[in-house]
Structure 1
Amino acid sequence: MLLAYLGLCLLITVTPGLDTAVVIRGTLKGGPRAGLRTALGCALGLFVHATLVAVGLAGLLLRSAIVFEAVKLAGAAFLVYLGARTLWAVRHKPPLPGEALPQDDTPSRFARFQSPFVQGLLTNLTNPKATLVFLATLPQFVPSGRPAEAVPIALGLALIAVLFSLSGLSLVAVAVGRVRHLLASPRVRRVQEALLGATLVGLGLRVAAE
């Protein structure tokens, strides 16, 4: 049973999703360390969903269509925001090789949202599909004959899934960080930022439309 669950976690991990796109963006923008912090935020957001499912609170979200739609639209708006900021940055003249990157002129009241960790956290916190994934998988592997142990076992299984996600996203951050220097030329950097920004906006719009 545990091997089957581990296989399922591996399959979910290698399937690219919203968190993968956000980690790639964070790594390209701030380097491997920023990508790793983004991955950590994504993993924590995922664990929040898993914990809600484990203690049975997720049902409140799923029983309320209004709450579900509100959370989904908030997540879609956040992805569109990240993509739009990336596309906006493309309009600015890129620095020449060896020059410092331009400072972010985001107002201080929005500065907290520029943290890679916070961006990763919000990406998964506002993705109700994470709740659906855990709600569909965890009950299959929690023994029904031991109700007193159901919550600890579910939390343990959730932690395994989160560790898989964190490991996979961290590998993405490290891999992208290794080839980041190949994207150092201004023209290439503008192209990759434009593609990534468009991808994030497209993902956000798709989430909102579903």
Structure 2
Amino acid sequence: MTAALLGFALFALLVTIAPGPDTLLVLRNCLRGGRRAGAASAVGSAVGSMAWAVAAAAGLAAALQRWDAAFMTVRLVGAAYLVVLGAQALWTYRRAATGSTEAMGEPGGGDLTAVRAARAFRQGLCSCLLNPKVGIFFVAVVPQFLPEGHSVLGVTLLFGVIDAVIAAGWLLLVALCAGRLLQWLRRPKVHRNLERGTGGVLLALGIGTAAETLRA
């Protein structure tokens, strides 16, 4: 059992540290709302991962994998969400590029673009919940690590907790490191380039996911 837990934990860590939408969202919200918003996004993403683990344990992810219509619907909704986030980032970049100072102010006060912790948490949660690949990850990977003689439901839930803790730890580390660089990140040129870069990547991920889904 210990070997199975360690093996899964190592695999989950390798998957988690690969840059993806959750990491980009944490970095972007650190810039717009500070370390607290970045940490809230990280926690939201971890909660979403745990929710997928519970769903996988109950068989929902397996059903999505078999039922093409459901899988396609969830993927398209997730792609649309990424496109919306990307468009928001590019809009913020456009405002900053045209000389608006509101997009570069300190969080709170009169900054209309600042991201509060509650909103950042919801964004992190939705970003993960609308990514069915997280559920498929559990369905495809967990069986490879299941030890004999143990409850599939119980072990899958335990793996889910491990994955959520690893995801939260890594993304919180990202938020912490980004928080220390906030003064540099809030420089107008850096801010504009980051908004443009993350917006472009999120748009590309959303459009790419939608195109891949519609081709399938």
Q: Is TM more than 0.5 here?
A: yes
Counterparts of 2:87 and 2:105, CA distance in 1 = 24
Q: Contact 1:94–1:190 at 8 Å: present in 2 too?
A: no
Q: Contact 2:47–2:125 at 8 Å: present in 1 too?
A: yes
Instruction: Work out which of the residue numbers 168, 171, 175 in structure 2 matches 1:169.
Output: 171
Counterparts in 2 of 1:99 and 1:143: CA distance versus 1, 3 Å: closer
Extract unaligned runs of 5+ from structure 1: 106-110
Counterpart for residue 70 of structure 1? 73
Shift of 1:180: 1.7
| Partner SS, residue 115 of structure 1 | helix
The residue type equivalent to 1:53 in the other structure is A
Counterparts of 2:141 and 2:92, CA distance in 1 = 40
RMSD: 2.4
Q: Contact 1:86–1:194 at 8 Å: present in 2 too?
A: yes
Shift of 1:85: 0.8
Shift of 1:141: 2.0
Counterparts of 2:63 and 2:8, CA distance in 1 = 26
Shift of 1:187: 2.5
Counterparts of 2:171 and 2:187, CA distance in 1 = 26
Q: Contact 2:43–2:168 at 8 Å: present in 1 too?
A: yes
Counterparts in 2 of 1:88 and 1:140: CA distance versus 1, 3 Å: same
Counterparts in 2 of 1:100 and 1:156: CA distance versus 1, 3 Å: closer
Shift of 1:80: 0.7
Q: Any residues of structure 2 matched to 1:38-117 within 5 Å, and which? A: 38-92=41-95, 93-95=99-101, 100=106, 103-104=111-112, 115-117=119-121
Shift of 1:135: 0.8
Extract unaligned runs of 5+ from structure 2: none
Counterpart for residue 140 of structure 2? 136
TM-score normalised by length of structure 1: 0.88
Counterparts in 2 of 1:183 and 1:57: CA distance versus 1, 3 Å: closer
Aligned residues: 203
Counterparts of 2:176 and 2:61, CA distance in 1 = 33
Instruction: Work out which of the residue numbers 89, 113, 125 in structure 2 matches 1:121.
Output: 125
Counterparts in 2 of 1:45 and 1:100: CA distance versus 1, 3 Å: closer
Shift of 1:190: 1.4
| Partner SS, residue 206 of structure 1 | helix
Q: Any residues of structure 2 matched to 1:145-160 within 5 Å, and which? A: 145-146=149-150, 149-160=151-162
Shift of 1:57: 2.5
Q: Contact 2:7–2:145 at 8 Å: present in 1 too?
A: no
Counterparts of 1:140 and 1:51, CA distance in 2 = 18
Shift of 1:99: 5.4
Q: Contact 2:105–2:111 at 8 Å: present in 1 too?
A: no
Give yes or no for the alignment of 1:181 onto 2:183.
Answer: yes
Give yes or no for the alignment of 1:26 onto 2:34.
Answer: no
| Partner SS, residue 131 of structure 2 | coil
Give yes or no for the alignment of 1:191 onto 2:193.
Answer: yes
* Identity level (%): 39
Shift of 1:145: 3.3
